[in-house]
Chain A
């Protein structure tokens, strides 16, 4: 009975929304024009990066805070356990992972730099770095993480801390996260560098902290 109701509701939902999409008029507000008009003063030449780190910088500030919060919650749920290493993988797999990891670091730094003028940026770079860490973990070269030490804690919080410091300093000059146009490019690169390190550690941590207590449960 419940199944029929839910499926009928879902099909009706698709029907109503799809039919309304076909006769949707043009958007009332076109944000492409203002984004393009202020691009020269934003410090970067790629519009998505400009939106993420300049026009709507506070979105990204809160996003990294949410990520940090999720990681802290995972640490709290998992309790205090020592890191565990998965079984060693085949030597060929290990060698390939060892070859891939340095390349992934180069790709991540390139993505961070390219974010200023083409698709890329701190999030993509952080995801690639985190993938490298997960790859090394899965072939048995990087043990799962136990309770984080001071260095790891600082790394996890670095992106949020750098971003918050920039925001606080700019607040004394005027408005929250309103960069002066001549310094915008450097500030965005500084924030993105911090974000990349923190995002890589947080995303890798989401996997490696969860992987640690596999022998105790």
Chain B
């Protein structure tokens, strides 16, 4: 097993952890964190699978670099929305999670 394959397998595990977190956790801050864990898993799969034969491939690396920056921006936007929700309602859960 090459280190690239190991990275990809770790990525799959992280992605599944993140999906389970997003589905199960009601607290929005923790859900945003789970979403980021999911994203990191996807990035690891992209980079790891591309270099499973040893040599790294610059195209997936450039795509992941783009993806990381966009993920940071999306996280900041999600945090801003969460903060606004907290300021308006005093809660950190979505209404449907509180009822259900």
Q: Point out residues on A near B: beta carbons under 8 Å.
A: 2-3, 6-7, 10-11, 13-14, 17-18, 21-22, 24, 26-27, 30-32, 35, 47-48, 50-52, 55-56, 59-60, 63, 66-67, 70-71, 73-74, 77-78, 123, 199, 202-203, 206-207, 210, 217
Contacts and interface: CB of A to CB of B under 8 A. Distances in A.
A217 B87 contact: yes
Q: DSSP majority for the A interface?
A: helix
Contact of A10 (B19, B53, B70, B77): B19
Given A32-B57, A35-B58, A59-B66, A73 B12 contact: no
Contact of B69 (A10, A74, A123): A123
Interface of B: 5, 8-9, 12-13, 16-17, 19-20, 23-24, 49-50, 52-53, 55, 57-59, 61-63, 65-66, 69-70, 72-74, 76-77, 79-81, 83-84, 86-87
B80 A77 contact: yes
A210 B66 contact: no
A207 B55 CA distance: 37
Contacts of B66: 52, 59-60, 63
A184 B9 CA distance: 38
Contact of B81 (A17, A66, A77, A123): A77
A161 to B, nearest CB: 18
A3 B73 CA distance: 30
